[in-house]
Structure 1
């Protein structure tokens, strides 16, 4: 299986999906313990959740699992949230803080995975950003994520349904952040802007409004669209359709802002 799947669209919006893949080579799977092999920290069904919502969007999806290497972490290994619990470039524990390996990868192994998987994903994503920006004068990177709604290792209490991340407003124009937040506020789903999840490495690395690349992360609590947040993590059609209606409105609004020239200045208000 190729590390990255790309669907080229003709519009200004790119949907990045770094964590919905479950592929890992057998030699990596063999080093996971039973807990690791459950792959519980997958962004379950995110590709299905967004499928068809914005037909002219480009999709860049990592087919490999985040336990092989996390495509949304700094390739240097630097923490996104210093002082807080998190998982690393190659996670050694899961989202509950429990070990996932019988044999942890050494630095040579991490370097190999960085080249084979992480670099491949970001080469593809960067190329699509450049292509879209050249075609439209602007590109909007919408980073698609989901996570279990209760994980005491990572955060207290229950996560809001919709978690918007722009690294405290640094990664996109204000008008874009406000438009997404307004739709979330009217949706009936709970939401927060730059709460526990302010945007991962992808959002922070590419989101530079002064270069006409805007990035925004959407972290969705899996309780909003799964039957249960335990195995087999089944997709709930009724829940998902309600959520998909909101996500469709968000993507259409982002698309309109980009096409109407509302994101072409670095200081959009």
Structure 2
């Protein structure tokens, strides 16, 4: 199902994969207020749909927005509450890139009225679809699993020191999914890639808001280092690198599906 702001692909197993930062589009009325850096949308979670192109064949539901995170960040609280208090956070409607370059021309930052318009136009439809789909999955199968599929450059000094591990799992410090699920994930063989759980990235707004393991809805975020599948300087997809990491992602998705169906994880 394709709408004006997102695409929802129906599945046949109790797993929904959300890619809230995959969209690249900018509405014309917003793009004309932005800097060249802003229009380049360099902080996109690049090629997530391409990396997970196997997932629907495995039965997963998939939801992907059309518009870029620079328009509005679908993984932020609509009330503007910081994800990581005391740390550097990007806003609901970002005004600077990850490298702190301005995204808008002088005097063109979105004001409160414009931010509220974007919440209504772009944020709410995605979250309504996310919530309804999880409800439908749970009603049909008895439980639902949500994978928040993200990626980021391996080095972003604004947010963390040094180089990021390859696979960064977050479950809100154990609050968004069952201990059994995170245990199953950590027992998988991700070598030669490095991995961490609840390191710098513990799960964003979606993981925290929708993960309710006591109600049989389990949410997990994966922040994948972009160095595992693309050239981080040219922002080009690297087929050779991608073909090496995709089996690990498929293994992860298969594990989540097995858990969602109450099957033993192999």
TM interval, short-chain normalised: over 0.9
> Distance between the aligned counterparts of 1:200 and 1:17, measured in 2?
12
Deviation at 1:186, TM superposition (A): 4.1
Match of 1:59?
A: 62
Contact 1:54 1:251 in 2 (8 A): no
2:182 counterpart of 1:177: yes
Worse overlay, 149-158 or 1-10: 1-10
Q: Deviations over 1:120-155 (max 9, x none)?
A: 100011111001111110000000000011010111
Contact 2:26 2:39 in 1 (8 A): no
Deviation at 1:173, TM superposition (A): 0.6
Contact 2:143 2:216 in 1 (8 A): yes
> Distance between the aligned counterparts of 2:81 and 2:164, measured in 1?
25
Match of 1:2?
A: 4
Contact 2:46 2:151 in 1 (8 A): yes
Deviation at 1:230, TM superposition (A): 2.2
Secondary structure at the counterpart of residue 163 of structure 1: strand
Write the mapping of 1:83-94 to structure 2, written as runs, cut at 5 A.
Answer: 83-94=86-97
Root-mean-square deviation (Å): 1.4
> Distance between the aligned counterparts of 1:174 and 1:98, measured in 2?
40
Q: Deviations over 1:23-58 (max 9, x none)?
A: 121010011111111111000000100012352100
Deviation at 1:182, TM superposition (A): 2.0
2:130 counterpart of 1:125: yes
Deviation at 1:199, TM superposition (A): 0.1
Contact 2:56 2:62 in 1 (8 A): no
Match of 2:226?
A: 222
Moved over 2 A (4+): none
**TM (normalized to structure 1)?**
0.94
Match of 2:120?
A: 115
5+ unaligned residues in a row in structure 2: which ranges? Answer: none
Match of 1:213?
A: 217
Cα distance change on mapping 1:158 and 1:20 into 2, 3 Å: same
Q: Deviations over 1:164-216 (max 9, x none)?
A: 00011110011111111222x54310111000000000000000101110000
Deviation at 1:245, TM superposition (A): 0.1
Secondary structure at the counterpart of residue 183 of structure 2: helix
Q: Deviations over 1:51-82 (max 9, x none)?
A: 12352100011111000000000010000001
**TM (normalized to structure 2)?**
0.95
Count matched residues.
260
Q: Deviations over 1:82-116 (max 9, x none)?
A: 11012010011111122111110111100000000
